[in-house]
Structure 1
Amino acid sequence: MFGVTSTLNGSLLMTHWDVHHLPRADGKTFLVTGGNAGIGYFVAEQLAGSGATVLLGSRNATKAETAMASIRSRVPDARLGHLRLDLSDLSSLESSVDSLEIERLDAVVCNAGVLLEDQPRRETAEGLELTFATNHLGHFVLAHQLMPLLEAAEAGRVVTTGSFVGKSAELDLDDLQSERDYQPKRTYARSKLAQMLFAFELDRRLRAAGSTVLSVVDHPGGALDSLTPARPVHPAPGGRKFPAGLLLQGKEAGAWPAVRAVLDPAVRGGEMFGPRVFGLRGEPRREPVRGKLADTALAARLWAASVGLTGIGVTR
């Protein structure tokens, strides 16, 4: 069972985190980008079970409705909503956030992303490489637009979903748009590294500004479609699951680190959560932040480049 103990100085300490018995979050509001499918769907489903209001950020209203119906079939009293959100269209994000009829936002899970396998390089209407724009720059701008709502919460959180492959990527700050040598999987990995670097830099800036908002990173480990439980948004997979099931996991389990990053009262800004077993599968645990992820100079340079590409900062 989930438990919290109080230390002498009044801080909260987790005694155990049980993915099947989450703490209640009644009265709170969470936004999950890409909440209509994949890991984002399972993040939304699990957070809905905590009693919170969960908003699914998706550009496709029909897919969002299907996802919400699926969640309600498992969480009958779920409080859900849809926010039309197209992260590849940076100019649309301000109006999307303005359409939210809420006074505060307790957390945003920056989960949505694209991987354009076996496709040529594509650009957004604003002339930005599509994968990097959607996965990193879209969330960079979204965090800026949401900051007043996050600061209105008692302790708002920006939870950024990175990737295991992002840890080993090399970020070319002179070619963030992959104009010289575009390779879809490499571009995706670089975009996920950029997301994680942004999240850690965001927390440093929030702490320096005295903000109550925390920025936290999670990653799902090795989450495969073939190991994922069936849902209307994710049909039952076929084929054999062995031996992948010994090393990897489904997307339901891949959602656990993000859910913990949102709900665990012991979470602190600048932390990272991933699966327990070799960072690939298992219950979520706190991971050390090291290597490129701890490179503050690299993160600061990426931040400056992101401001240059979008024209905005993130903290006000």
Structure 2
Amino acid sequence: MPSASDAPQWNVHRLPRAEGRSVLVTGGNAGIGYFVAEQLAGTGATVVLGCRDAAKAEAAIASIGSRVHGAEVRYVPLDLADLGSLEASVDALGLDRLDAVVHNAGVALDHPTRCETNAGHELMFATNHLGHFALTHYLTPLLAVTPGSRLVTTGSFAAKSERLNLDDLQSTQDYRPKRAYARSKLAQMLFALELDRRLRAVGSTTTSVLVHPGGALDALTPSRPPVQVRTTGERLRHLPLGLVVQGKEAAAWPAVRAVLDPSVRGGRLWSPRRFGLRGTPRTEPVWSHLADTATAARLWEASCDLTGIDLTLAPRTRLDGKQADG
């Protein structure tokens, strides 16, 4: 079985064909998620955008369709902050199998007032972590009947210097927006790795892969009207930053590779090649605090309690519902 190191060189501009495969991208109507969806659509895969705003979703679909001839792209309403709506969103997919989901959507607040969802959860933790945790529960049957399916989670550099406070996961004490965001992303990343460990424990062929996009700037991102509009002047003014960071179309590359590359293995971290900030995707060692299995297990149990969902993983099943051999 080839490893990432001895596999043929990956070309971000010549992706393998993926006709017949289906991928859900949360938050696929804007930012990095849009470019993940656009690039996957170019492979012939069926791409479903999970979005809160129907108008923005339709604009993204039109933009992708204008650039990718014959693109198979549609959307389902998806609000990760509303846990009670997620089962209906998965039902609306209308799929009997799912090759991959890219857990990309997220919210980052910069104002000092702590916001809560209708269920009383801190908004960033609820959207970035709890919503994807619950969504995984509802997607599990579709992923389990699809051999080699993948869950790809988009992390963040913001989480690298943070640690979870398991006694205050929802930042009820000393709330600081940037720290709350970083911890919500850290929770999401810990969940992705714990998920892969638990999938391996039950013999599933589904894998969970962690990616982070590096430094992604709007100013270096090509225009996709009306989804994203950048003037030539704006891009030229920020070109020197391109020596250090990149645009969002390049920031999508790790997630796209994690979906498509047959050499990708679960439990790994993929990031841009140059200092983790820009360039083509490659694996990097999992950050030391992400390897804390005790914290990850406690977070899993806390997430079950907060969502009211018992995310229990079953062994791999066949399309007829019977347990698969091997």
Q: TM (normalized to structure 1)?
A: 0.95
Q: What is the DSSP-based 3-state SS (H/G/I as helix, E as strand, rest coil) of the residue aligned with 1:133?
A: helix
**Residues 163-184 of structure 1: per-residue CA shift (max 9 Å, x gap):** 1111221211111111101111
Q: Confirm or deny: 8 A CA contact 1:12 1:265 kept in the other structure.
A: no
Go from structure 1 to structure 2 and tell me whether the alpha carbon gap of 1:40 and 1:11 turns closer, same or farther (over 3 Å shift): closer
Aligned equivalent of 1:33: 26
SS in 2 for 1:216: strand
- Among 296, 299, 311, which residue is 1:299 paired with? 296
Distance of 1:84 and 1:140 partners within structure 2: 17
The answer on 1:236 being equivalent to 2:222 is: no
CA RMSD after TM alignment: 1.6
Aligned to 2:217: 224
What's the offset of the Cα at 1:14? 1.8
Match of 1:80, SS state, is strand
Tell me the SS of whatever aligns to 1:273.
strand
Q: What amino acid does structure 2 have at the position aligned with 1:254?
A: A
Which one is further off, 123-132 or 239-248?
239-248
2:7 counterpart of 1:14: yes
Identify the match of residue 184 of structure 2 among 184, 188, 191.
Answer: 191
Indicate the percent of aligned positions where both proteins have the same amino acid. Answer: 65
Distance 1:161 1:12 in 2: 22
Counterpart in 2 of 1:105? 98
Name whichever of 199-208 and 239-248 sits farther off. Answer: 239-248
Q: Distance in 1 between matches of 2:263 and 2:4?
A: 8
Give the Cα separation in 1 of the matches to 2:140 and 2:255: 19
Per-residue CA deviation, residues 17-43 of structure 1 (Å, 9 max, x unaligned), is 000000111100000000000000000
Partner of 2:74: 81
SS of the residue 1:16 aligns to: coil
Distance across 1 between alignment mates of 2:172 and 2:4: 48
Q: Which residue of 2 aligns with 1:57?
A: 50
Distance 1:203 1:46, change over 3 A: same
Residue 313 of structure 1 and its aligned partner are, at CA, apart by 2.8
What whole-Å deviation, never above 9, does each CA across 1:109-162 have from its counterpart, x for those lacking one? 000000011241100000000000000000000001000001111211000000
Q: Which residue of 1 aligns with 2:269?
A: 272
- Kindly report which structure 2 residues correspond to 1:90-239, keeping only aligned pairs within 5 A, or say none: 90-232=83-225, 233-236=227-230, 238=234
1-structure distance, mates of 2:230, 2:5: 40
1:3 matched residue in structure 2: none
Question: Aligned partners of 1:25, 1:75: CA distance in 2, in Å?
Answer: 14
Q: Pick closer, same or farther for the CA change 1:290–1:116 going to 2, 3 Å.
A: closer
Match 2:248 to one of 244, 248, 251: 251
CA distance in 1, matches of 2:219, 2:5: 38
Structure 2 gaps, min length 5: 315-326
Q: Distance in 1 between matches of 2:297 and 2:28?
A: 29
Q: Is the 8 A contact 2:99 2:149 kept in 1?
A: yes
SS at match of 1:236: coil
Q: What SS is found at the alignment partner of 2:160?
A: helix
Change in 2 beyond 3 A, CA 1:166/1:12: closer
Distance of 1:242 and 1:100 partners within structure 2: 40
**Equivalence for 1:48:** 41
Whole-angstrom CA distance in 2 between matches of 1:189 and 1:12: 30
Query: How far, CA to CA, are the matches of 1:11 and 1:219 in structure 2?
Result: 17
Q: CA deviation at 1:60?
A: 0.8
Match in the other structure for 2:322: none
Question: Which runs of no fewer than 5 residues in structure 1 stay unpaired?
Answer: 1-5
TM-score, normalised with respect to structure 2: 0.92
Q: Determine the C-alpha separation between the residues in 1 that align with 2:25 and 2:46.
A: 11
